[in-house]
């Protein structure tokens, strides 16, 4: 399972001891299976609460931040027990005591909770060797109900400062869980959780299959396919209003919804004319435009981030391969994958540099990336039945589902393949992850 | 009542009875004296009219119509010869029973992507539908619903499970 030598074979199990704000929800456990060798040493000193919030059972902000940074695979936070001091103001910091430990950066901070349950966090990030603040005193405000969000915001700021790309600690994942409730009876749940596995919320529960969740670009809606009426129909669930709407229920398949980058259209697969083809639905008018007209299977459309291209899966060449088309249908389709017998279910990185998809042969299906400028392809994962790769909003990581001891779990891998982690529920299958914008 | 259904029902009864007696004879040959009551002669009761016992041919294990699942090769949607007879039997039955309607459920094994498998399952449904139509079943009687890989009958990540999961189920809507 672990290669030796090339990477630090660290095996962090971030046991989740915090009393969850939502006791019914099972948090996901997160396991870093591989991190980078040059992980940055950092100390996140416990944030001082003033006054101490006795009536709220809150985790320390520093623990949340340290866990976030550890999960990125790029940082090696110092254990609180090993800290020489616990300052919360820059004047209290004894630089020498941290230099001796080889800490390059320390984050210190404090927070207070107001009577109307706002949480005001102030923090600094100090370069220990320069003895200067990298982030001078910064305030992040949140509410008690969104306490973790405030901590993730601190993580995002630190990550962006030190790594030079946006942090994704405040993003969410949508996924499908499937459990056998009794012989022959399953329960399918569309769920949304924070990216660190906290606060999973069921969006829709059904005894019939649910698949293909897709986030709207504003993160407020999820389109998905549900068999609740015994046929594959497409629905859109609004996370703000909690309302859902059936948007496509034609004869045959209504599947593979994918939002246009401007959020006004859905690309989808319909077989109403007897054969699965790609269509574009204008959401305000529900008007359909047929994009492919081929007797082969055409499905799994996805938009390029600029909205100009659609990449999709087609077996017109005899086996499933990826093809691209202008979204306005002005030119004919062009095949883009040539290695391997089976290449399907593509999605773009938000920066437009990469395409991730499933590559396989008869018995092995893994996550691959293609660098679009060079058309160079790399297989990133080592699973047998890997599925549904989806990019993080900062284009650095890919989340996918993989088979692990007979159940499906979610995993992430960095686009360079160096950082890996697994997220898993206690039981049942967790699959088809979609990373929120 | 449709005369053909009646006829099939009678055939069904006959075949079922034959099957029952032969099974009994085979499995209980050594213990029949213990389990069976001593045969005594009872005069047949006087009946005014013969009663027709209706057995649905679809429920008759000796009728080809009771076989309602056909299987496919990996990434294939061609009906192989061994399943043609089953589809022919259903085709004849559906054609002669215009009130009957059928859903052809297409299924796949778990390999490959979910939405592609949804399309592949529909292809399998189409292949079965084509053969049913050839035998005279009307378009309005046949609907295809693909479940892709979402509803496996066999759990497991191996050939045995996969073989059972690549299938079309012929579901009569009763």
The interface pTM score, or ipTM, of the predicted complex is 0.89
Could A362 and B111 be called an inter-chain contact, meaning their C-beta atoms sit closer than 8 Å?
yes
Residue B26 burial (10 A CB sphere; 0-12, 13-18, 19+): exposed
CB–CB of A346/A335 below 8 Å? Answer: no
Residues in A whose CB is inside 8 Å of some CB of B read 209, 211-212, 227, 230-232, 252-253, 255-256, 269, 271, 274, 276, 297, 299-300, 313, 315, 319-320, 342, 344-345, 358, 360, 362-363, 365, 384-385, 387-388, 403, 406, 432
Could B122 and A313 be called an inter-chain contact, meaning their C-beta atoms sit closer than 8 Å?
no
The residue behind tokens 């297989």 is A379
Could B118 and A299 be called an inter-chain contact, meaning their C-beta atoms sit closer than 8 Å?
yes
Mutate to test the interface with B, among A270, A363, A390, A404 (most CBs of B within 10 A): A363
Write out the two tokens for A161.
């400062």
Shortest CB distance from A385 goes to which of B110, B144, B151?
Answer: B110
The sign of the CA dihedral A180, A181, A184, A187 is negative
Minimal Cα distance from B104: which residue of A? A252
User: What strands, in cross-sheet order, belong to the sheet with A12-14?
Assistant: A12-14, A29-34, A420-424, A407-414, A397-404, A387-391
Question: What is the distance between the alpha carbons of residues A159 and A164, in angstroms, rounded to a whole number?
Answer: 7
| A183: closest CA of chain B, how far (Å) | 11
Question: What is the distance between the alpha carbons of residues B21 and A22, in angstroms, rounded to a whole number?
Answer: 63
- pLDDT, tens digit only, all 437 positions of chain A: 333 333 333 333 333 323 333 333 455 566 666 666 678 999 999 999 987 776 677 889 999 999 999 988 899 999 999 999 999 999 999 999 999 999 999 999 999 999 899 999 999 999 999 999 999 999 999 999 999 999 999 999 999 999 999 999 999 999 999 988 887 788 999 999 999 888 899 999 999 999 999 999 999 999 999 999 999 999 999 999 999 999 999 999 999 999 999 999 999 999 999 999 999 999 999 999 999 999 999 999 999 999 999 999 999 999 999 999 999 989 899 999 999 999 999 999 999 999 999 999 888 999 999 999 999 999 999 999 999 999 999 999 999 999 887 788 899 999 999 888 888 655 678 999 999 99
Q: Helix B114-134 and helix B84-96: axis angle, to 10°?
A: 60
CB–CB of A203/A224 below 8 Å? Answer: no
Measured at the CA of A258, the angle between CA A257 and CA A259, to 5 degrees, comes to 125
- Calculate the average pLDDT of chain B: 80
Residue B111 at interface with chain A, using a CB cutoff of 8 Å: yes
Residue B112 at interface with chain A, using a CB cutoff of 8 Å: yes
Could A385 and B111 be called an inter-chain contact, meaning their C-beta atoms sit closer than 8 Å?
yes
What's this model's pTM, rounded to 2 decimal places?
0.84
A86: left (phi over 0), alpha (psi -120 to 50) or beta: beta
Residue B76 at interface with chain A, using a CB cutoff of 8 Å: no
């Amino acid at each position: 399972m672990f290669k030796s030598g090339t990477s630090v074979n660290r095996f962090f199990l971030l046991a989740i001891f915090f009393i969850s704000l939502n006791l019914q929800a099972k948090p996901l456990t997160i396991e870093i299976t591989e991190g980078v060798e040059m992980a940055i040493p950092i100390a996140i000193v416990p944030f001082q609460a003033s006054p101490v919030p006795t009536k709220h059972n809150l985790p320390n902000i520093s623990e949340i931040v340290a866990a976030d940074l550890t999960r990125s695979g790029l940082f090696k936070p110092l254990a609180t027990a090993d800290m020489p001091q616990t300052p919360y103001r820059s004047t209290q910091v004894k630089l020498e005591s941290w230099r001796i430990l080889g800490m390059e950066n320390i984050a210190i901070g404090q927070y207070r909770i107001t009577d109307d349950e706002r949480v005001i966090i102030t923090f600094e990030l100090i370069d220990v060797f320069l003895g200067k603040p990298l982030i001078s005193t910064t305030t992040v405000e949140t509410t008690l109900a969104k306490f973790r969000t405030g901590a993730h915001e601190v993580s995002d700021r630190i990550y962006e400062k030190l790594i030079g790309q946006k942090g994704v600690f405040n993003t969410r994942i949508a996924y499908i869980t499937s459990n056998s409730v009794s012989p022959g009876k399953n329960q399918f749940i569309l769920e949304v959780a924070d990216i660190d596995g906290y606060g999973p919320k069921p969006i829709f529960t059904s005894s019939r299959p649910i698949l293909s969740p897709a986030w709207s670009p504003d993160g407020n809606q999820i389109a998905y396919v549900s068999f609740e009426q015994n046929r594959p129909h497409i629905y859109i669930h609004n996370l703000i209003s909690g309302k859902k709407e059936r948007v496509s229920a034609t004869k045959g398949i209504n599947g593979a919804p994918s939002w246009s980058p401007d959020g006004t259209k859905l690309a989808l697969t319909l077989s109403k004319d007897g054969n699965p083809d790609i269509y574009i639905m204008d959401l305000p008018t529900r008007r359909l435009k047929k994009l492919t007209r081929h007797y082969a299977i055409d499905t799994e459309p996805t938009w390029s981030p600029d909205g100009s291209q659609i990449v999709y899966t087609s077996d017109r060449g005899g086996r499933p391969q990826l093809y691209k088309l202008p979204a306005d249908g002005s030119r004919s389709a062009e095949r883009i994958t040539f290695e391997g017998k089976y290449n399907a279910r593509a999605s773009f990185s938000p920066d437009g540099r990469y395409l991730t998809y499933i590559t396989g042969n008869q018995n092995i299906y893994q996550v691959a990336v293609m660098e679009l400028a060079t058309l160079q392809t790399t297989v990133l994962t080592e699973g047998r039945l890997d599925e549904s790769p989806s990019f993080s909003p900062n284009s650095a990581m890919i989340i996918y589902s993989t088979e692990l001891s007979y159940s499906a779990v979610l995993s992430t891998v960095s686009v360079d393949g160096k950082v890996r982690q697994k997220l898993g529920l206690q039981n049942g299958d967790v699959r088809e992850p979609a990373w929120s914008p | 009542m449709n005369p053909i259904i009646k006829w099939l029902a009678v055939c069904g009864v006959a075949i079922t009875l034959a099957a029952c007696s032969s099974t009994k004879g085979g499995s209980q040959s050594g213990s029949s004296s213990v389990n069976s009551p001593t045969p005594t002669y009872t005069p047949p009761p006087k009946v005014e009219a013969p009663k027709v016992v209706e057995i649905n041919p679809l429920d008759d294990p000796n009728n080809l119509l009771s076989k309602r699942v056909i299987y496919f090769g990996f990434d294939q949607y061609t009906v192989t010869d061994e399943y043609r007879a089953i589809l022919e039997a259903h085709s004849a039955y559906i054609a002669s029973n215009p009130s009957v309607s059928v859903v052809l459920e297409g299924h796949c094994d778990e390999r490959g992507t979910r939405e592609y498998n949804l399309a592949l399952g529909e292809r399998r449904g189409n292949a079965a539908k084509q053969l049913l139509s050839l035998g005279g079943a009307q378009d309005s009687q046949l609907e295809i619903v693909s479940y892709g890989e979402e509803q496996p009958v066999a759990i497991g990540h191996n050939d045995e499970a996969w073989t059972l999961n690549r299938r079309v189920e012929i579901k009569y809507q009763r």
